[in-house]
Amino acid sequence: MIIMVAIGNGAQREVLEKIESMGTNLVIVNAGQVQKSPGRQQVQGTVTSLSLKDVDILTAHCPDVNRAAPVQTKKMQVKWGNVSTNTTITGTASDYQTIRNFKVADGTFFTEEENKAFLRYAVLGQTVVNNLFGGSNPIGETIRVGRVPFSVIGVMEAKGTDMNGVDQDDQIFIPIQTALRRVFNLNYINTINIQATSIEKMDDAISQITEILREQHRLNKQNKPDDFTIQNQVELLEAQKETTDTFTALIVSTAGISLLIGGIGILAIMLIAIRERINEIGLRMAVGASRKDILLQFVIESSILSIGGGIIGIILGILISVIIIFATNWTLSISIPSIIYSFLFSLAVGLFFGVYPARKASLLDPIEALRSE
């Protein structure tokens, strides 16, 4: 049980850390209607409903929006010399790195002035650096995104995979204006990343965003449904926490069944002990031991078995958990309450399954017990 709970808590903590690493007070506006289905989310309806103008209006007219960054992505081939790789091209603005907690490891991120000037600057993720440059410093080099040359001005710190298992380091950031005009040939965006002023103001920010976008897209006059979908970090946290809680409950239930099986083992051992010690029981009762004394004797013996097994289980559970932490990349979190509860549960199981054999021993006829061989 200790190991199972440690695995469940570790998985929950890892998921929560990944969601928190996505950004602070994060609100995501997606173009079109997003349908939640098992495995992934699918966009339904139009996906051309968001524009750069929406970003400017939201920033200017939403009091509880701290900053906003447009995002448009596409998987494309990138070349450097004779080396090429397929990666995600992310067109965005300078505020994106602040909103999504991306940090520059070397060089710089492009500024808003450079974005408005349609400069062809690129900031690479660590995976792209490894695939194209073999890990060497790429700053100052020129890469080609499709047919468009870009100067590498920065390298991002490693971010790892997100909660969907997508490698966040396998992407290249370029200015959104340059991306839309020179690379994607689009006049719309698919996502707006927004940072609310505080986590307490996230609901207010979402209400303001919804009202302004509906007005901007003229949905109120025609009484149309939203042509966008808003997600926030709190919803993601709650959804993932519910999932991991269910997972933890499942594995704890499995461990509980194992404890019950252990209790049946104690029951069998005590019954065998009674059969082999009938003469001892008869002798004790013949010299004055009461049924209560016999009952207490076997209850204490079963308790010693369960307590001893519980202590050994605690030691092994902690030891194996520590070994798993050092031997694998798993994130485990040993819970003190799980240690206490599992020990108390094992004690209760031992007592429960020890009472029947103890009572059976106390009800033996002393004369018949002494005659037994």
Give pLDDT tens digits for 289-347. 787 887 788 788 778 877 887 888 888 888 887 887 777 766 677 778 777 877 787 77
Instruction: Enter the DSSP assignment of 222.
Output: T
Provide mean pLDDT across the span 242-268: 72
Is 249 or 37 the better-scoring residue by pLDDT? 249
Instruction: Enter the DSSP assignment of 226.
Output: P
Helix (H) or strand (E) holding 29: strand 26-31
Judge contact between 197 and 64, C-beta under 8 A. yes
Residue 215, C-beta contacts closer than 8 angstroms, at least 6 positions apart: none
Return the amino acid letter for 168.
Q
Q: Is the pLDDT of residue 75 over 90?
A: yes
d(CA 194, CA 179): 20
Number of neighbouring beta carbons within 10 Å of residue 206: 22
- In the chain, the largest separation of any two C-alpha atoms, in whole Å, equals 105
Provide mean pLDDT across the span 36-47: 49
d(CA 222, CA 203): 25
**pLDDT score for 366:** 66
Give pLDDT tens digits for 218-252. 888 778 888 889 888 766 666 666 766 776 677 76
Provide mean pLDDT across the span 82-99: 94
Residue 115: both structure tokens together: 């974005």
**pLDDT score for 124:** 96
Look over the chain and give the mean of its residue pLDDT values, rounded to a whole number.
Answer: 82
Q: How long is the chain?
A: 373
pTM over 0.85: no
How would DSSP label each residue in 329-360? S------HHHHHHHHHHHHHHHHHHHHHHHHH
**pLDDT score for 40:** 46
Q: Grade residue 45 by pLDDT with cuts at 50, 70 and 90.
A: very low
d(CA 317, CA 326): 14
- Nearest 5°: the CA angle 78, 84, 85 is 70
Residue 373, C-beta contacts closer than 8 angstroms, at least 6 positions apart: 279
Q: Grade residue 37 by pLDDT with cuts at 50, 70 and 90.
A: very low
Q: In 3-state terms, what secondary structure has residue 82?
A: coil
Q: Is the pLDDT of residue 58 over 80?
A: yes
Is 105 or 368 the better-scoring residue by pLDDT? 105
Instruction: Enter the DSSP assignment of 184.
Output: I
Q: Is the pLDDT of residue 126 over 90?
A: yes
Provide mean pLDDT across the span 210-218: 91
Portion of the chain with pLDDT greater than 70, in percent: 83
Instruction: Enter the DSSP assignment of 100.
Output: T
* Backbone torsions φ then ψ of 164, nearest 5 degrees: -95, 5
Q: In 3-state terms, what secondary structure has residue 125?
A: coil
Q: Grade residue 46 by pLDDT with cuts at 50, 70 and 90.
A: very low
Is 177 or 232 the better-scoring residue by pLDDT? 177
Is 338 or 141 the better-scoring residue by pLDDT? 141
Q: Is the pLDDT of residue 371 over 70?
A: no
Q: Grade residue 87 by pLDDT with cuts at 50, 70 and 90.
A: very high
If 0-12 CB within 10 Å is exposed, 13-18 middle and 19+ buried, where does residue 31 land?
Answer: buried
**pLDDT score for 349:** 75
* Backbone torsions φ then ψ of 123, nearest 5 degrees: -120, 125
Residue 212: both structure tokens together: 């302004």
If 0-12 CB within 10 Å is exposed, 13-18 middle and 19+ buried, where does residue 140 land?
Answer: exposed
**pLDDT score for 11:** 66
